[in-house]
Structure 1
Amino acid sequence: MKLRAYIVEDNATIRENLIETLSELADVETVGIAETEAEGTAWLSTNGHHWDIAIVDLFLRQGSGLGVLAACQERSAQQRMVVLSNYATADVRARCSQLGVDAVFDKSNEIDALVDYCTQQSAAA
């Protein structure tokens, strides 16, 4: 079963590469994208049964990925929230943990770990 992903990322190049990589390597189907906090929050909250994993960048064109994460704390138990950011510092990881994030990945050196995580989630579904 394909894992249904919603991606909140404002950089088009990163977003398109991520969609392609996850589709090819992790059996992930992207069901939507957002470039801003408002778009991401609105879609995720009104389409609760249409996604399995949300991949969120912290720095967006407008707003913050932290706002998206905070808005999704009441998601269903099987839905996963992950952060993919260039700023995956210890402080950021701690804040994400407080917001109920399932995993944090650094864009610069943990893409393979994100792919592995998605593969595991897809197999478990």
Structure 2
Amino acid sequence: MPSCLRAFVVEDNATLREQLVGALEELTCVQVIGSCGTEDEALAWLATGQPWDLLMVDLFLRQGSGMGLVQRVAPRQAEQRLVVFSNYVNAGVRKRCAQLGVDAVFDKSTEIDALVDYCARRCAQVAATLQPAKA
């Protein structure tokens, strides 16, 4: 397991994507290894088999939908985390995401700090698993 979290960001707003990437890389151990703005681009990247630890998905994309992508990514390795980050979060969206196995859902307008905290906690969890056992 890597010493940082390898993240792929699916966000159609380039400015927001750049800000999010900058914040995560500055404030946490997250290393963004790629990003795109459509469902098809995300599926094509996932099909390459490149290893990842965190997939961050917006629900509304330039093409396709984040929910469609979430449904396709549902079967994944146990240590991989899937996070939804959207302006369109309500109880129904949270429930549907939970049904699809999403690990966390964050509202872009009110929960950016919570997203950064989630990533920082995940970094700490990964780091703890990398510590050698004490004799």
Scaled by the length of structure 2, the TM-score of the pair is 0.88
Unmatched runs of 5 consecutive residues or more in structure 2: 127-135
Question: What secondary structure sits across from 1:5 in the alignment?
Answer: strand
Unmatched runs of 5 consecutive residues or more in structure 1: none
Percent identity for Structure 1 against Structure 2: 58
1:1-125 maps to which residues of 2 (within 5 A)? 1-47=3-49, 50-125=51-126
Kindly provide the CA deviation profile for residues 28-64 of structure 1, in whole angstroms up to 9, marking residues without a partner as x: 100111110011122124325x110000000000000
CA RMSD of superposed structures (Å): 1.0
Kindly provide the CA deviation profile for residues 77-124 of structure 1, in whole angstroms up to 9, marking residues without a partner as x: 000000000011001111111111000000001011000100111111
> Post-superposition shift, 1:67?
1.1
Divergent runs of 4+, >3 A: none
Scaled by the length of structure 1, the TM-score of the pair is 0.95
- The count of residues paired between Structure 1 and Structure 2 equals 124
> Post-superposition shift, 1:20?
0.1
> Post-superposition shift, 1:8?
0.2
